[in-house]
Chains A and B, each alone.
Chain A
């Protein structure tokens, strides 16, 4: 099977859906780039090149560069979705989403509810998140818990190139607004990705490792770190199940509860800040629904409750590591 990067997988998913369905359009800041500058068309393909090549194939009517005015173009995308198109809008860094919260929270997320199910909003908002690129505190956050909090939004965090393609195609075909989180540090990761079209259903967790002693639930980039920790612990004789929920909304609570029912131990790894995070949410879930199965306290692994540091040394310490995950998981079993 063909090896592709996370970036290529997302590009291929969008291109295949654009070929399949003429209603799919792409819009965002520099999604093509070089508009109005002769000889410079398709100069960018988004700030990290994910949409490169789409404008030459699908033309400027379907791949639109927008002004630097997030509330205008996200609002336009929500309106286009409500009136028959299937837009894939890119809001560069999730850190900038604040300027268009109203369009997302009060408009796109509410249409289906407000109109009694008669309106659908097949909108995908692509956005980059995550630390590790020395991009400082306004370009490195993991704000997916904020979107998970809002009923009416679906929130997707692909952890590998395979997940990225299948989840993106699912997102485009979904009739509700989907916030699609792409981790900047994963764009050059490679993996087996089928050339054919495929979809991965939302709300269906993946078990990337299976073992009987401890359950690790991890999100996005943290899944790979959790896998490394699990592989090391396996050599020590500790069996680890790693769960990648793939989507935070909807959330596959059943798989998490079943696994904790078997292992009796839970570690949640979340790159978002600790307060009101997915780590806190899943700890709450298991404490409420599976307390009787627990053999040890629930442990959460998150960065500290601070902005992402610009200092490289501090940023490296800030991000949860495979070693830290391994040590915490081991401490639960050996306690």
Chain B
């Protein structure tokens, strides 16, 4: 009985794989079209999971798997990241030795701006992430940079996300700078290319394989991936940044993992965040 049921599911997977067959545009600098990508991705998930609202994808796997949603909603009633947000607020408001603070480094005093990250910096010719600017703020004011993956940087980021809840993601790819488009394309390519000894792309699990069990885990859909970061993961037992998760995923493909804030990861974040345009910021989040 159980076997037959899983067999039916297996067939669904085969059908789903069919749908992802190649488009013939959008894969080089001449043809890449971020807005078409974003719409195509929404369309893909709409057809995979017709019951789920696009807006709900900020809730990750719980947008498409009713079974685990209930448990998660209970968890969110007493969110495991609450302490981190409080700590983050305190850190955010603690002045540096020179009397300045994080509020001096960001637009609008750093409040309600999470949805604008990452962004393309024309001056520096690179993608800038929120965590990167938190550390730059420190260094520019004579403080030591924080470690990227967890701890204080994740807490500060969590507080900044908290003040931005329900703001709509609006990542821009400036038309007047080809390098921005190139960074987006690079991130897209990173997402879809198979790599590592296990020969896995991000898409293997998070597009085709989303909501299909790998042992007892259900991979989340890529749509809405970034909106809830930083995240408190039960598996970690702590709060972590998006790039901590990227390193972990990269390693899971048995690639030698890149370090957080590597250019490839920032470009990946740029691509993924653009895919979440139109969705709201809801970080920090909690996940299994």
**Interaction A to B:** no
**Which residue numbers of B lie inside 8 Å of A, CB to CB?**
none
**Which residue numbers of A lie inside 8 Å of B, CB to CB?**
none
